[in-house]
Structure 1
Amino acid sequence: QVGAKQPTVAANWLTDVDGEEIPAGAAAVHGISTEKAHAEGVDLRLAVEEILGALTQVILSGIPVVAMNARYDLTLLDREAQRYGFQPLADAIVIDPFVIDKQVDRYRSGKRTLTALCQHYDVRLDAAHSADADAVAACRVAWRQATRYPQLATMTLDELHAAQIGWAAEQAASLQEHFRQTRPDAVVEGAWPLIPRQREMTS
C-alpha cells in the first residue's frame, strides 16, 4: 500500500512454481532460477490463497488496486484461484498506468514498460523486476499521471475505472487493426481489467 500519508507497505511471495520450470529468459530478468524457486519457494497454492486474501482486504477497505498491465496479472491470479478452487477476487477499482499512459500520451514513441514509464514520469525504480519494488513504482507512476494530467484528477475512482475499460478496448482494437495489415487473423484481447473465464473456455 502506498500513499494516504501512511508508511509504504510491500510484500513479496516466492513460490515453488508448483514444480514447473522457469524459462531461462524470465530468470535472467528477475533473477529467480528454477532451482531457487524449488528450494526456497512456498507452496504455490498457499501463496495464491495469501495473495487473494491480502488483495481482498485492500479491496473491501475501498482502496483501489494499481496494476501495471492489469489484464495480464489479474487474469493470471484469477485462473490460479479457479485452479485451486478459491473464490474469485472481489470486484475492484483498478488503476492501470499502462492503459492510462497509452490514452493520455498515445502518440509518444518508445517503449511503455514500467521501467520506461518510470523514466518518463520521473519515478525512482529500485530493484527493477522485484515484485514489491515494481508494485510501489507502479503506484507512484499512477500518482504522477494524475498530477500531470488534470483530466484524470477530476475523475472519481469509479469514473476512472469505467474509462479505462473503454480505453483498453479501443487500444486493443487499434493494435489489432495494425496487426491485421500483415496478419489478417490477428486478434488482440480487449477485455480489462481481466479476461472473463467464460470467454477463455468457449474460445
Structure 2
Amino acid sequence: MSWHLGRLAGFDTETTGVDVETDRIVTACIVEVGGNTPPLTANWLINPGVDIPEAAAAVHGISTEKAKADGQDPAEAVAQLVAGLTQVVLAGTPLVIMNAPFDLTILDREARRYGVQPLTEVVGDELHVVDPRVLDKHVDTYRPGKRTLTDLCRLYKVRLDGAHSADADAIAACRVAWRLGNEHPKLAELSVAELHTAQAGWAAGQAASFQAHLRKKNPNAVVDGSWPLRPVVAGVA
C-alpha cells in the first residue's frame, strides 16, 4: 500500500517568531489521520517563558498574557512533544510537516534548551518526513506565485479550517500530502524511506536554484538547503 493511503501524522507549531535558533514554541499539534482509523489529536498551549511579540500574536492569536495564564511549562511540554513524536515515528508512521526545517529545527533547539534528548537522536534513521512544500516544488517546479500552506490548500482543493492554528495546519498538511500522493503516481510508488531520501536531494536542489536567483542581485545571498533539519549552530542557545 502506498504511503499516502496509510496512517499519516501531521505536526505543526506556532511560535514567537521565525528564527529557529532563538524563538520559542507557543502552540503545537500532533494529529494522526487516515489508514481507516479514527483521527487522534494532541494539542499543546505553552508558556514560552518570553514575551510573545504582537506581530506573532496577531498571526496565531495567543498573547503573552494568555500563554502565561493558561500555558504549560515549556520544558514539560517540549518533553511531551518529543515523546509523542517518538511514539509516532517508531510506529512507522510518516510525519507530515509543511516546511519541515522550520518546525523540526525549532523543536530540536527547544529540546536542547531544556535538556531534552532531541527527536532525531532518539529515533535516528527511523524518521521519515513528508514535506508538502518540497513535494509541490518538485512536481510543479516553475509554477509562479507563493507556496504557503494556504496557497497549496487552494491549489489542491483542500479544506483549511482556520489557518495559523497548529491543529488546523497539521491536518491540512496531511490532506495536501494525500492529494500529492494521489495525483502523482511517481511519488506514490516510492516507499517512505525512499521518499524521505529523495526529498533531501530535492530540497537541496531547490535551495541552490533559489540562491542562484537571489545572487543575481545580491552576490552574498545564502539559502540553507538542509532538510528536514538544520544543523546545530555552535554557540547559539
Tell me, yes or no, whether TM beats 0.5.
yes
1:155 to 190, 199, 205: 190
Per chain length, whose mean CA-contact separation is higher, i.e. which structure has more relative contact order (CA < 8 Å, sep 6+)?
A: 2
Query: Which residue does 2:219 correspond to in 1?
Result: 184
Query: Which residue does 1:75 correspond to in 2?
Result: 105
Query: Which residue does 2:234 correspond to in 1?
Result: 201
Q: AA paired with 1:157?
A: V
Task: Please state which structure has a larger fraction of its residues in helix.
Answer: 1
**Residue 56 of structure 2 corresponds to residue 26 of structure 1:** yes
Structure 1, unpaired ranges of 5+: none
Q: What CA distance in whole angstroms lies between the structure 1 residues aligned with 2:226 and 2:235?
A: 15
Q: What CA distance in whole angstroms lies between the structure 2 residues aligned with 1:22 and 1:107?
A: 37
Structure 2, unpaired ranges of 5+: 1-31
Q: AA paired with 1:59?
A: V
Which stretch shifts more, 54-63 or 5-14? 5-14
Q: What CA distance in whole angstroms lies between the structure 2 residues aligned with 1:24 and 1:173?
A: 34
Query: Which residue does 1:125 correspond to in 2?
Result: 160
Q: What CA distance in whole angstroms lies between the structure 2 residues aligned with 1:103 and 1:25?
A: 32
> What is the root-mean-square deviation of aligned Cα atoms in Å?
1.2
Task: Please state which structure has a larger fraction of its residues in strand.
Answer: 2
User: Superposition pairs for residues 37-48 of structure 1, below 5 Å?
Assistant: 37-48=67-78
Q: What CA distance in whole angstroms lies between the structure 2 residues aligned with 1:26 and 1:80?
A: 18
TM-score by length of 2: 0.82
1:15 to 38, 46, 54: 46
Task: Give the CA deviation at 1:202.
Answer: 7.6
Tell me if structure 2 keeps the 8 A contact 1:169–1:190: yes
User: Superposition pairs for residues 35-184 of structure 1, below 5 Å?
Assistant: 35-89=65-119, 90-91=123-124, 92-184=127-219
The number of residue pairs the alignment matches comes to 200
